[in-house]
């Protein structure tokens, strides 16, 4: 249950305190049997079906029951879930009235979230477009792809998110990225995620490019540029 809870929080946020509820033996407040719903200006308590009663305290023995009730509420009754379903139904109904019968849960996940496969990086390189003085043979471009090849899976996905805004590839395959030259070699690489556009300074050597790129993708996952 702890592993499932951690995965849920990774995708939907830590607001629920799900991992805390499952992993710790400490007794939580009885308020944990409900979930606050709404924005900062307007909250309301939502009764979780199957969760311990309002008068019960959520202890370690109740953790799995609470997690199941919370996840059921989130996907079935929450405002966010209902809005998603309405929009998703609207899109799919335009495509085919029988689409639900054709898609498995895995198919739906790929359609909505994209693919986490690292196999797209070969296609990413093949489809890349170069601007502002760069081409596929430019020394900095060659060094860039050398660094990409060195990255482990986690860092490759962070790089993809840095450039495109998502660490998953569209179901149709690798996006077409644009890599443009900048003379500001004192700066880190930057990106325009809406356009899958990487601005890559023309660094003097491989070591400098590696260092600057790794800093950029590490900082971007923590909100670089927004602090």
Q: Closest by alpha carbon to 159, among 130, 128, 134?
A: 128
Q: Is 44 a catalytic residue?
A: no
Structure tokens at 75: 């996907």
Per DSSP, which regions of 89-165 are E strands? 129-131
Report the distance separating Cα 157 and Cα 175, nearest Å.
Answer: 13
Report the distance separating Cα 121 and Cα 123, nearest Å.
Answer: 5
Q: Which of 25, 194, 223, 226 is the catalytic position?
A: 194
Report the distance separating Cα 107 and Cα 219, nearest Å.
Answer: 32
Alpha helix locations (H) across 151-205? 153-164
Report the distance separating Cα 59 and Cα 183, nearest Å.
Answer: 59
Q: So which residues are the catalytic ones?
A: 194
């Amino acid at each position: 249950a702890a592993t499932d809870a951690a995965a849920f929080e990774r995708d939907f946020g830590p607001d629920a305190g799900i991992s805390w509820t499952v992993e710790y033996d400490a007794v939580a407040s009885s308020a944990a049997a409900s979930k606050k719903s709404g924005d900062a200006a307007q909250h309301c308590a939502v009764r979780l079906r199957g969760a311990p009663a309002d008068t019960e305290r959520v202890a370690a023995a109740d953790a799995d029951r609470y997690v199941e009730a919370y996840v059921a509420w989130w996907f079935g009754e929450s405002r966010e879930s209902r809005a998603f379903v309405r929009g998703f139904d609207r899109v799919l109904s335009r495509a085919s009235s029988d689409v639900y019968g054709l898609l498995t849960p895995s198919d739906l996940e790929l359609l909505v979230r994209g693919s986490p496969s690292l196999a797209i990086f070969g296609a990413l390189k093949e489809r890349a477009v170069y601007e502002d003085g760069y081409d596929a043979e430019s020394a900095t471009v060659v060094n860039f792809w050398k660094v990409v090849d060195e990255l482990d899976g986690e860092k490759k996905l962070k790089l993809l998110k840095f450039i495109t805004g998502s660490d998953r590839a569209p179901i149709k395959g690798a996006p077409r990225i644009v890599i443009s030259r900048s003379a500001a070699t004192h700066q880190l690489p930057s990106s325009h995620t809406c356009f899958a556009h990487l601005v890559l300074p023309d660094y003097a050597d491989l070591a400098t490019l590696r260092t600057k790129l790794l800093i950029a993708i590490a900082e971007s996952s923590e909100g670089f540029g927004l602090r």
